[in-house]
Structure 1
Amino acid sequence: MKKDVNIDWSQLGFGYIKTDLRYISIWKDGKWDEGKLVEDNNITISEASTALHYGQQCFEGMKAYRTKNGDIQLFRPDQNAKRLNNSCKRILMPEIPEEKFIHACKQVIKANEAYVPPYGTGATLYLRPFVIGIGDNLGVRPAPEYMFCVFCSPVGPYFKGGMSPVNFVITQYDRAAPYGTGAAKVGGNYAGSLLPNSIAKSKGFADCIYLDPATHTKIEEVGAANFFGITHDDKFVTPISPSILPSITKYSLMHIAKHYLGLEVEERDVFIDKLDEFKEAGACGTAAVISPIGGIEYNNKLHVFYSETEVGPITQKLYDTLCGIQFGDIEGPEGWIVKVD
């Protein structure tokens, strides 16, 4: 009998809804156990866990999509597995075998299939895999044990307006140090962003934009997303820096821009005082997909790109193509789509 979860899919925001089951696996004595699905959405760990005191933890964000014929599919989960393992390596946590990672995600999706939103609603099932250091420990050192978990929640758009332009403001705060953990998806990066995000929102902006920490002259990230711009001669440009989180959405858009839309693609420095080279701009990531940037405020002046109210045509094509692949309406490159069966 199919479960009825009684959710108004059209009204979903980006928030937590408890689902039925989640996956937990423990690393101890040098290896991961088989893992299991559990009902309880609370976890019990030692008060001395490194995750609590020294920030030894990382996470991923990914989505499951319902296609027109009712199938469920994942988008490039192997890339999430690789990025999680790169984060683990950066803070000395054991890696998750890619097969184990994808199998865990599939188990969670199948166990919570009723929560995968219907095709056409624009909503998706968001998955949050994470790894934390646990066990009794007091000194600054790697944990004696680790926990790998995957939970899920149905979500709507990350920004309230969905696919409509929003404005951002440059912050003087730094997101990451030049040789720090900016390229790893660790919680500390996000903890540090809460204050500048709050300040930006208090001024009426969707979020803030971080410049490079060394010179404060180049765009690095847009809140918790990656930046891209479309030049007047139709080049897709995105910043390059060792401090930027390598967004799977961004690299997918780079491929789509080149091979589906026929644009030139450049990964290079984007100087904050040269915004007028772009006719369109956007922020991209798993949660937001694409948020068109209406304008960026810098030195008390708002630079407007295509429009503060309308989405630029190339940004719209990028969004439509990416979502078309994710929801199964457009054929993606080989290996991008993994069916959940």
Structure 2
Amino acid sequence: MGSVNIDWKNLRFEYIKTDYRYVSRYKDGSWDEGKLVEDNKLCISEASTALHYGQQCFEGLKAYHTKEGKIQLFRPDENAKRMNKSLKRLLMPEIPEEKFIDACMQVVKANEEYVPPYGSGATLYLRPFAIGVGDNVGVKPAPEYLFCVFCVPVGPYFKGGLKPVNFTVAEHDRAAPKGTGGVKVGGNYAASLLPHEIAVEKGYADCIYLDPSTHTKIEEVGAANFFGITKDDKFITPKSESILPSITKYSLMHVAKEYLGMEVEERDVYIDKLDEFKEAGACGTAAVITPIGGIEYNGDFHVFYSEEEVGPVTRKLYDTLTGIQFGDVEAPKGWIKEVK
């Protein structure tokens, strides 16, 4: 293993080749044992279903260095469950939860020197994914599959600390009413590239997607989940079959209720009733929380707490959850898996 020469403080959220990744193959009805390999290139058939029919899905989670020098994963069992939901939706073979967690553990352990030091604000991002491979030209499930996990050290999503950003409402739909919006498949992200680019060209960080049936309710914010804090301190987040169930969001709901004593509700959030919220944010693995300064809709621009400052409740939620992830705040039972 070469010594790692990384400027941890200036890491960005981008690909860096690390030493090892995990690969397992599904063939003749079962997964093989899986192994760590050094090569970061996959060799697959030109007829693989992943290339033609979108038979592929992925996950994202992180490993953290604690103050005491331990390395820990945050709720990997939830990522395993969510990946199996995606796999089932695409008629791909499920991955046993123990296998998924073991693969993540192996990859972190093998790339231990790439786990950024405590206090740098950086983390080790893991990307488990599964693809349909083999010779197949008909529209049907693949004969074989690959399950892989690679890792990349990434910097904090925000270089200048937690800062509010602005969003505009997309004219495009992210997912169909009974489509694949609730699972983590590549097609959802391919569909979001154009609306994202349109939003950025208008000067916004990203776009907000409304429900595909009525276009009256907020569903997702770019590739993240929405939450709002009402004037009487309730944590509200949208409820819909088309929303990807964010592990960060469900963790924040728990933190809001159990750590901050707030009321929590999953319910419809109407785009024309934004004034019920004094603060708002988007949440996901990469950034944890992106505070929302304001939202543009039909020519009107609604500002929440401030376009410059992060609201106090949003900051408290962020500090508590990142505190749990880095081992500075006691975690709920079962949330942390130590890498040994």
Q: Which residue of 2 aligns with 1:337?
A: 336
Post-superposition offset of 1:157: 2.6
- Is the 1:3–1:114 contact (alpha carbons within 8 Å) kept by the matching residues of 2? no
Distance 1:162 1:271 in 2: 30
Q: Which residue of 2 aligns with 1:324?
A: 323
Post-superposition offset of 1:162: 4.2
Distance 1:118 1:213 in 2: 43
DSSP 3-state at the match of 2:213: coil
Q: How does 1:127-142 map to 2 (within 5 A)?
A: 127-142=126-141
TM-score, normalised via structure 1 length: 0.98
Distance 2:282 2:162 in 1: 11
Post-superposition offset of 1:29: 0.1
Residue 53 (1) aligns with residue 52 (2): yes
What letter matches 1:81 in structure 2?
A
Q: Which residue of 2 aligns with 1:155?
A: 154
Distance 1:263 1:124 in 2: 29
Distance 2:69 2:53 in 1: 43
- Is the 2:123–2:156 contact (alpha carbons within 8 Å) kept by the matching residues of 1? no
Post-superposition offset of 1:3: 5.5
What letter matches 2:125 in structure 1?
Y
Distance 1:262 1:4 in 2: 46
- Is the 1:21–1:37 contact (alpha carbons within 8 Å) kept by the matching residues of 2? yes
Post-superposition offset of 1:158: 3.0
Q: Which residue of 2 aligns with 1:194?
A: 193
Distance 1:112 1:189 in 2: 30
Q: Identity percentage over the alignment?
A: 78
Distance 1:197 1:158 in 2: 17
Post-superposition offset of 1:160: 4.8
DSSP 3-state at the match of 2:264: strand
Cα deviations across residues 220-262 of structure 1 (Å, max 9, x unaligned)? 0000000000000000000000000000000000000000000
- Is the 2:228–2:280 contact (alpha carbons within 8 Å) kept by the matching residues of 1? yes
Residue 28 (1) aligns with residue 19 (2): no
Post-superposition offset of 1:14: 0.8
Q: Which residue of 1 aligns with 2:304?
A: 305
Between stretches 20-29 and 297-306, larger displacement belongs to: 297-306
Number of residue equivalences: 340
Post-superposition offset of 1:302: 1.4
Q: Which residue of 2 aligns with 1:277?
A: 276
| Deviation beyond 6 Å, 4+ runs, structure 1 | none
What letter matches 1:31 in structure 2?
S
DSSP 3-state at the match of 2:15: coil
DSSP 3-state at the match of 1:110: helix
What letter matches 2:293 in structure 1?
G
CA RMSD of aligned residues (A): 0.9
What letter matches 1:244 in structure 2?
I
Post-superposition offset of 1:26: 0.1
Post-superposition offset of 1:325: 0.3
What letter matches 2:327 in structure 1?
G
- Is the 2:248–2:284 contact (alpha carbons within 8 Å) kept by the matching residues of 1? yes
Distance 2:53 2:34 in 1: 25
Distance 1:170 1:273 in 2: 12
Distance 1:62 1:163 in 2: 20
Q: Which 5+ residue runs of structure 2 have no aligned equivalent?
A: none
Q: Which residue of 2 aligns with 1:63?
A: 62
Post-superposition offset of 1:161: 4.4
DSSP 3-state at the match of 1:226: strand
Q: Which residue of 1 aligns with 2:39?
A: 40
